[in-house]
Amino acid sequence: MNYPSWTIDGLGSGWVIGLIAITHVFISHFAVGAGLFLPVTEYFARKHGRQDVLDFLRHHTRFFLILTAVFGASSGVGIWFSISLVQPAATATLIRNFVFAWGIEWMVFLVEVVSLTFYYYGWEKMKPELHQKIGWIYAITAIGSLFVINGILTFMLTPGSWLETRSFWDGFFNPTYAPSLILRILVCLALAGLWGIFQASRMDRENPLRTWLLRYSSRWLIPSYLVAGFVMFWYIEMVPAESLDAMTEGISGAGAGNLSILTRVAMLVGLMTVTIALMVLFGPYLNPTDFSTSKAVWLLVAGFVVTGAAEWSREVLRKPFVIRGFMYSNGLYYQDVEDKLKRPFLDHAPWAKLHPDVGTAMFKTQCSSCHTLHGYRALSGFLKDRDEESIYLFLTMLQQGEENPYRFIMPPVLGTEADLKALAAYLAREIEPGEPETAVAP
C-alpha cells in the first residue's frame, strides 16, 4: 500500500498480468521442451543418416527461433512491466529476496539466446559435432532457466519455513518446488511434441517423413501427459490445506450443485489433458495419414487453454495472498494487519491521498487488485442486492478476524468506521449509477 494503484476498468489489472503471463508460459515451456527435442532428434538423425529429418529440423529451428526469441522474450519483458505496475510491493519483495537467483536467470537466458542463434545459423556452417554440442548447451541452459524460475513461482504459494527464517534456500526449495519442477518439465516435453505435430502436419501428405514425424512427435506428448497426472497428485499434497478449501468445498458440494469456480477449472484442466492425449493417440500416432493441419491447430488451442487454466488455478490457490502468509493481494503485509486494521486509512497509504475522496481511495487501493466495478469479478454482481447500509455491514464483517467467513479468499479491509462508510457510499453510488446513494435494495 506504499505504491500508487494502477487499475484497468472492466478487465481488471490482474488479468493484464494473466493474459501476458499465460502466453509467455505457453511459449517459454515450448522453448524448454523443444530445447531437448532439437538436439535429441538431431542426434538420432545423424546417427541413422536421416538427412530428411535434419532438413526438417533446420526448418523447425527457424520457426522455433522466431517464436521463442521474439514473442517469448518480449512477453517476458511484458510480465516485468505489468507486475511492476499491478503488484509493485510483491515484485520488490521477490527482487530483494531472490536477487542472486534473478542474476543467475538473466545470465542463463543470455546464454540461451546466444546458443540458439548460433544453433540456427550454424546448420550449414559448423561441423556436425560442434553444432550438436551447441544444441546441448541450449537444452541445458533452458532447463536451468526453468530450474530458477520454478523456485520463485512456487515460493509465492508455499514459502514454507522462509516465513520464520527468511533464508534464501528455505524460500527457493520450498514444499512445492520438486513436484512443480517435474510437472513443468513434463509439460515442456508435451508442448515440444505438440508443436512438432503442428509443424509435421503442414507437410505433403504423400511424404513418408510426415508420417514418421507425426508419430515421433506424439511419443513426446502422450507419456508426458500420462505421467503428469500422477505428479499432479503429489503437487496437490504439498499445497497448504487452506489453499485447497475452494476446490474441496466445490467437490463436496457437487451433489447440491455448488461446484466452485476453482473446482470447475481444475476439472477442465484434467478433462482437457486426457482429451488431448487421446486425440494425439488416435490421431497423429495411430492414424497419421488422416490427420490434418486444422486438427493440429485445434490441438494447439486446446493446449493453450489447458496451460491458461492451470496457471489461473495456481494463482487462485494463493488467494487472498500474493505471497502466502506474508503479503495480501492488495499489497498489505500480513504482519501489519493488527496494527493498521482500524486506524485512519489515509494515515498509512500516502499515495491514496491523490484520489478525490476516501471512498475512491479505499476502492482503488484495497479492492481493485482483484475486483472491478462492472467487469471481471465485478462488485456490481456481488453487491447488486445490497443498499449502502448493507454494504457497510459487509465491510465491517471483513474486519472480524476469525469470525470473518471470507478471510480465506479476501484480505481484511483497513479503515475506521468513517472510512468504511465512505467506501460503502462509493460502492453503492457506482454500482447503481443514477440512483440515490442510500437506495434500498429490491
Where residue 54 sits, what CATH number does that domain have? 1.20.1630
Last residue in a domain, options 305, 328, 351: 328
100: domain range? 13-328
Q: Which pLDDT score is estimated for 259?
A: 55
Distance, in Å, from the CA atom of 346 to the CA atom of 418, rounded to the nearest integer, reads 12
Per-residue pLDDT reduced to its tens digit, 328-360: 999 999 999 999 999 999 988 888 888 889 999
Lowest mean pLDDT of 69-73, 142-146, 251-255, 348-352, name the range: 251-255
The per-residue pLDDT for range 125-163, each reduced to its tens digit, is 999 999 999 999 999 999 999 999 999 999 999 999 999
Of 280, 301, 328, the last residue of a domain is 328
CATH number where 419 lies: 1.10.760
Banded pLDDT at 249 (limits 50, 70, 90)? low
Total tally of structural domains belonging to the chain:
2
Domain annotation covers residue 49: yes
Q: Are 27 and 67 in the same domain?
A: yes
Q: Is residue 1 part of a domain?
A: no
pTM of the model: 0.89
Q: Are 182 and 118 found together in one domain?
A: yes
Which of 328, 349, 372 represents a domain boundary (last residue)?
Answer: 328
Do residues 183 and 278 share a domain? yes
